[in-house]
Amino acid sequence: MSVSIKSPRQIELMREAGRLLALVHKELHSALKPGMSTWDIDRLGETMIRDFGCIPNFKNYNGYPASICVSVNDEVVHGIPSKKHLIREGDIVSLDCGLIYQGMHSDAARTWGIGTVSADAQRLMNVTRQSFFEGIKLAKEGNHLYEISAAIQDYVEAHGYSVVRDLVGHGIGTHLHEDPQIPNFRQRGRGIRLQAGMTLAIEPMVNAGRYDVEWLDDDWTVVTEDGSLSAHYENTILVTKEGCEILTLLPEEEQ
Ligand code: MF3
Ligand code: CO
């Protein structure tokens, strides 16, 4: 396994790839409303990405047919946008999206509630988002990769939820998926030593019930086996000597 260290120039480009992607997420969030189709969301996102002069990196990735993964309620990730799937008040909607800016990739996911959602659904979204922040407290040169994994799992399980095992985060840069794989759960050993200049996509997927998932017949959509709700939160980060920089978050989203 080889984990690339990005050059200062590549890091500059990834900052811009990240900033533009954060703007796409912001726009999609404000556009979400009951009655909209998941296909409408994809059209809006892809148009915005192309208007920025960027390329949607999910489109045609291993045959994935859209630019945004839209996963509703018990769908965990990789939901395929459809004109027939209308989002409704009370749904939780995970949007996973990425783009290429001058050869460098960014990748980020958010889960939003449509109108008023149940207290349980809101708590699941909050815990999922916070688990990312708990994980990246360990993202720093000299620490080891699986310290991040363990911190995410511990936080999620302390809140009574479970972390999906079958999908993981990843390195990112000149490709959408680079080494290393980044599980959101404890591993044997401690993983690679983190170095400044590594860029990683950290992406906890959290189920309200059991962690088991299954694939629908479309071969993409991942759903919880027990039908429980699932949330996803992801950012592209840059490891630094002091800690990390989140590349796909707008200043107003910082906690
Ligand atoms: N964001 C996803 C990931 O982190 C990528 C979706 S796979 C695709 O792996 F095929 F939809 F692009
Ligand atoms: Co990703």
Residue closest to 231 by CA, chosen among 63, 44, 96: 96
Distance 91 CA to ligand 2 centre (A): 22
**Which ligand lies nearest the alpha carbon of 200?**
2
Question: Rounded to the nearest whole angstrom, what is the distance from the C-alpha of residue 197 to the centroid of ligand 1?
Answer: 22
Q: Is 203 annotated for ligand binding?
A: yes
Cβ 61 under 6 angstroms from ligand 1: yes
Residue with tokens 């783009």: 99
69 Cα: distance to centroid of ligand 2 (angstroms) = 11
Banded pLDDT at 7 (limits 50, 70, 90): very high
Look at 71 and 252; give whichever has higher pLDDT. 71
232 assigned to a ligand binding site: no
Query: CB count, 10 Å around CB of 22?
Result: 23
CA distances, 225 to each of 134, 159, 215 (Å): 27, 20, 9
For 159-211, what is each residue's pLDDT tens digit? 999 999 999 999 999 999 999 999 999 999 999 999 999 999 999 999 999 99
- The answer to whether the CB of 132 is under 6 A from ligand 1 is no
79 within 8 A of 71, measured Cβ to Cβ:
yes
Q: Is 60 in the pocket of ligand 1 (CB under 6 A)?
A: no
Share above pLDDT 90 across residues of the chain, in percent, rounded to a whole number: 98
pLDDT(1) > 80: no
* Ligand 2 centroid from CA 120, angstroms: 25
**Is 91 flagged in the annotation as binding?**
no
CB-count burial class (<10 Å; 0-12, 13-18, 19+) for 177: middle
pLDDT in tens, 108-147: 999 999 999 999 999 999 999 999 999 999 999 999 999 9
> Which of 80, 95, 107 should be mutated for ligand 1, with most atoms under 8 A from CB?
107
C-alpha 246, offset from chain centre: 12
Confidence of residue 254 (pLDDT cuts 50, 70, 90): confident
Smallest-distance ligand from the CA of 167: 1
pTM above 0.75, yes or no: yes
Is the CB of 6 within 6 Å of ligand 1?
no
CA of 204 to the centre of ligand 1 (A): 13
